Structure 1
Amino acid sequence: MAVVPSIQELLRSCDHSAIHLEMRDGYDRDDPMFLAWQQGSGDDPNHDRSTWWRPWLDVVADVAGRGVRIQRARIISEPVSEYIRFEYDGTFTNVAAGEEIRWLPRREATDIALPGNDFWVFDEDRVRIGHFDGDGKSTEHEMTDDPAVLKLCLSAFEAVWNRAIPHERFQPRVKGSALPGR
């Protein structure tokens, strides 16, 4: 199996765009940042940049600073999972670093043709596909430039992006809360 470059390497090699579609309601539940958030460290978001997730946000800031547009869309179930609440609470750091992020409740994605896996597309010519186990742990990644896969990923992302709610306006529905007006 070929070695798949890291997302950071692929971002650094971008000339104009990177898009990312996330479709899971949870990822690695053993992530130390998630575990710390569960213990209360995420109750009051810390706006001190020195405490933010490194080196990821440094890469994002550098790449966005070169003029590369980085977009992330998340398709989520509502009420949201605890993991999605964790992601939502920390998303302000991604936005501050230069990512554009939008959220789409899963019930609003029913008529969108979606690939079976999360993916990144770099400069509209390379797809990095992520594979995860049932508990959300990354199991492997693959790269492709197959035109049919590129077309599906690009069209799926565009459909999701156009329908999704920008992070600044999105309020996740949690268990016990009424459906917010949109």
Structure 2
Amino acid sequence: MQEITADDLTELTGSFKRSMVHLEARDAYGTDTELPHLAKWLAGEPDDFAWLQDWCEKIAAHVNAGRSARRIKIVSEPLSDYQRWAYGAFTPIAEAGEDIHWVPRPRVSTVGIPGNDYYLFDGKRVVFLHYAGTGLNTSFTTTTDREVVEMCSSAFEKVWALSIPHSEYKST
């Protein structure tokens, strides 16, 4: 495993050639970007999601070029406040073309899943996202080790088969 920076990850999300998949398995995150918007939502204030515009434009460009972007969110139900907020925040991302699915945690009880959230780029490179207990990202590591790539690819596809498209998922 090699440690990479957030900038390196940003570059990878902009430069993949065929496909990007992203598996998220935490019930709450605490990213510096998201926390102020989550706080507004918790206070009952509306969000125009302008802060997501760059990501939505990046996704739309990939999809328009024939590349796929898929994401799975494994969630506990009832949803945490973070995931209830995220459901609304992910709607413009889904509208931009990222194929987002949700899966209730009990559905994946028999699926072997890596211990960290990850991205898989073009079926060749995995980037693991490491978090503190608070949900703040602490680091990123990457590998092109074929066994690890295959494990992540297989886990993603097994979870995908059990998941529910964003537009059909009824958040609880």
Q: Fold conserved (TM > 0.5)? A: yes
Contact 1:119 1:128 in 2 (8 A): yes
Q: 1:6 aligns with which of 5, 8, 14?
A: 8
Task: Please tell me the root mean square deviation across aligned C-alpha atoms, in Å.
Answer: 1.7
Contact 2:123 2:149 in 1 (8 A): yes
Specify the alignment match of 1:180 in structure 2: none
Specify the alignment match of 2:153 in structure 1: 154
Contact 1:109 1:160 in 2 (8 A): yes
Once the two structures are superposed, the pairs formed by residues 83-122 of structure 1 within 5 Å of their partners are 83-122=82-121
Once the two structures are superposed, the pairs formed by residues 1-182 of structure 1 within 5 Å of their partners are 2-4=3-5, 5-28=7-30, 31-42=35-46, 46=48, 51-173=50-172
State the TM-score, normalized to the length of structure 1: 0.86
Greater shift in the superposed pair: 72-81 or 29-38: 29-38
Match of 2:100, SS state, is strand
**Equivalents in 2 of 1:2, 1:120: separation in Å?**
14
1:61 Cα offset (Å): 1.7
1:157 maps to amino acid: F
Contact 1:126 1:150 in 2 (8 A): yes
Contact 2:103 2:163 in 1 (8 A): yes
Match of 2:138, SS state, is strand
When Rg is computed on C-alpha atoms for both structures, the one with the higher figure is 1
Greater shift in the superposed pair: 110-119 or 32-41: 32-41
**Equivalents in 1 of 2:89, 2:57: separation in Å?**
15
Deviations 1:44-96 (A, max 9, x none): x75xx7x3513222211222221110000010000110000010011111111
1:38 Cα offset (Å): 1.2
State the TM-score, normalized to the length of structure 2: 0.90
- Number of equivalent positions: 168
Greater shift in the superposed pair: 57-66 or 13-22: 57-66
Greater shift in the superposed pair: 76-85 or 11-20: 11-20
**Equivalents in 2 of 1:162, 1:17: separation in Å?**
17
1:2 Cα offset (Å): 4.7
Instruction: Return closer, same or farther for 1:58/1:6 CA change in 2, 3 Å cut-off.
Output: farther
Instruction: Return closer, same or farther for 1:58/1:29 CA change in 2, 3 Å cut-off.
Output: closer
Percent identical among aligned pairs is: 35
Give the gaps of 5 or more residues in structure 2.
none
Give the gaps of 5 or more residues in structure 1.
174-182
